[in-house]
Structure 1
């Protein structure tokens, strides 16, 4: 595929990108200082004035913003424009505490659409494409972001939303969907359902997909690509920052290009807040330099990632982030060892097991226990006790070696772990129920 770009900034020289970032940063800090009491207070406490921020090199003088700050200022306390300029509100799922509320001006919507348009163009989509959006529509940002991005490139949008999997498959067949957007776990469910229905995926017009909203591994990519017979692209975003399209993969697929003219990334040591060098792994932090309604300064994402400016064969000069290794708040600490669910998924897929699993963490007395429920492949006979025991032992050995701690493994019957059309619930941590 010939390299295609939506915007000239994607291939701009670094000095041009930095000049734009510096201009936008100084403008945004003044905007936040003058219109958001929270930021005025934070900067005053540090003795930092808007005039002190002249370039991206001054970024480390600024305070961090945390998810809790959005909750503490619920719902509209961090908005920087009058309410008559807010054209849309989204909110995160709010599984713990209050939802985090995000407002958008018309310019914010246009910027977000632009970012998603760049992603879709990188995957080879254009005005002839049929973009099938199976993210949820509503307060969650996934559906609307990709929808507006698809319209921006003048593609035809199919706003399928989530649910009713067999109907979704019929739409993919009948409407000629060329690219699908959904969570990776839902892509697997779609692929497995097609396989069970005897559908020949090589006869579909579907050629690619953008998958995000939950962590997924390279092994999961291979699984999706083989089930759906497509090229699977990663896309990254957070509702607080904008939504999907903060960064995206190009055909090289060695990391996601960050739209750094809008979102300036940093990697920090999560414990000390110290800024780390390119290539070092740490917590990803974003400063939103072009948002009007909700300008965020050094927002801590909790995602563990790495940044690289290694030249990319696609020609884009935008910095890349490697696929997040996990989240500091999803990371399980079991008997003093850091465990990410994605590590479990990697092991299962390497062993050619289905990617349907659940991690149950509990505490017996003072000792943490970890149990992994793994679905059997349809081809395994449940009553073949010796085969089940042998497979459990093989998975256990691989997990113990990868994780560095001992885990119990139980094979369960096919399709017994609940499927999700949104984000999968991979971890059940019972330890906090014991008080």
Structure 2
């Protein structure tokens, strides 16, 4: 692990840092964000009532719907004049999720990303290429900043075909690639298809982010490209990537506990579960000034590990599960909610959302959101060309709003 004092703190020292930062976050959130102040007021609580980490279980949860309902700036805990960057991501309704960052927040994210990259052995001698789909453009900027902070040479995120990505990998002598598991698999398959041997590349490290990866699929990528892979966990809406990251032991992901407090709850009862139990991951930000998260329900399934890690770090680890506790679909790292897709289809085509279903499919090595739309009189046209044009316009509109590839198929009505 990198030379980082927080990695070696005792449990007592770590908890002291966390409770001090939690109290500071709660005070700032309740002082400047009516949403947080009102929710504590309903419970007859004040931030001072949280005097130990276990007390956080008394606080209400934040959910994705809260971001859309308080669009755009109502959850900001600082004045707009202090905001230096604003990120936008698809929400759960027609309103996107908007998150802001102060200069201090961006400094924290450079530290968060730099720590995770250094742990993967990445440094000033590396040429790092970022290949993420447009829906993760914010992450591309975060990874660029973090890599530059540790002195690596960076090829910023640019949407390119797999052929062009491979050309850049080879010609620019890229040593580290940051991408999603799906895109990494597509690249590995393409090199085989074109007869390009890994020896022709300088690549030795893949940082995989955005979605869970099956161990067998991961092994096939490592074997096909002759690389070592490192998994990062983050949130596609807010605040960013590498909230948790793998160390050299590759046995769970270390949570950046100086910046985030993690809990596991039962998704049905919402009760906090003991370490080792599988459930829904809940995160509270400890250092974020502009856009604090207080017990945010991520929808991701995980379990916390308390046993010591062979790498020597005292940062708690989590085991990330492929399943979710909600109906959100993950497409190359971008979370897509069916409700949001339904809003757009109703607006564009007058389509009843109840007549629409969704699934994730693979097309040409990429994950695609397939929208299955029942035929009805509202969209049926005697002019086939007119109907096809309507469908193509709708696909383009969805791609722009969701940040993922979309295809629409008409299916027979179920009555």
Q: Deviations over 1:386-419 (max 9, x none)?
A: xxxxxxxxxxxxxxxxxxxxxxxxxxxxxxxxxx
Counterpart position of 1:364: none
In the alignment, which residue of structure 2 is the partner of 1:282? 279
User: SS of 2:57's equivalent?
Assistant: helix
Matches within 5 A, 1:317-332: 317-330=314-327
Q: Which residue pairs with 2:160 in the alignment? A: 163
Over 3 Å counting, the alpha-carbon distance change for 1:373 and 1:158 in structure 2 is closer
Q: Distance in 1 between matches of 2:93 and 2:221?
A: 30
Are 1:25 and 1:55, in contact at CA under 8 Å, matched by a contact in 2? no
RMSD of aligned alpha carbons: 3.1
Structure-2 change in CA distance of 1:259 and 1:427 (3 Å):
farther
Q: Distance in 2 between matches of 1:231 and 1:249?
A: 12
Give, in whole Å, the separation in 2 of the partners of 1:424 and 1:221.
Answer: 22
- Aligned match for 1:221, one of 218, 223, 227: 218
CA contact (8 A) 1:115 1:246 kept: yes
1:11–1:117 CA distance, 2 compared to 1 (3 A)? same
Displacement of 1:323 after TM fit? 1.9
List gaps (5 residues or longer) in structure 2. 332-356, 366-398
Deviates more, 1:131-140 or 1:185-194: 131-140
- Which of 144, 148, 151 is the aligned partner of 2:145? 148
Compute the displacement of 1:189 (Å).
1.1
Shift of 1:178: 1.1
| Structure-1 residue corresponding to 2:41 | 44
- The corresponding residue for 1:202 is 199
Equivalent residue for 1:391? none
Counterparts of 2:407 and 2:309, CA distance in 1: 36
1:237–1:245: 8 Å Cα contact kept in structure 2? yes
SS at match of 2:48: helix
- Tell me the distance in 1 between the aligned counterparts of 2:359 and 2:77: 47
Summarize the Cα distance change of 1:300–1:115 in structure 2 as closer, same or farther, 3 Å threshold. same
In the superposition, relative to structure 1, how do residues 239 and 55 fare at CA in structure 2: closer, same or farther (>3 Å)?
Answer: farther
Residues in 1 aligned to 2:407 and 2:314: alpha-carbon distance in whole angstroms = 37
Residue of 131, 134, 151 corresponding to 1:134: 131
User: What is the distance in 1 between the residues matched to 2:290 and 2:360?
Assistant: 43
Q: Which residue of 1 aligns with 2:290?
A: 293
Is the partner of 1:300 in helix, strand or coil? strand
| 1:185 pairs with one of 166, 182, 186 | 182
- Structure 1 residues 91-142: Cα deviation after superposition (integer angstroms, max 9, x where no partner): 2234753211111111111111111111111110111111111124687422
Q: Which runs of 5+ in 1 are unaligned?
A: 333-339, 342-368, 378-419
TM-score (norm 1): 0.75
1:356-392, CA deviations, whole angstroms, 9 ceiling, x for partnerless residues? Answer: xxxxxxxxxxxxx999988999xxxxxxxxxxxxxxx
- With normalisation by structure 2, the TM-score equals 0.78
Provide the C-alpha distance between the structure 1 equivalents of 2:410 and 2:243, rounded to a whole number of angstroms: 34
Aligned positions, number: 355
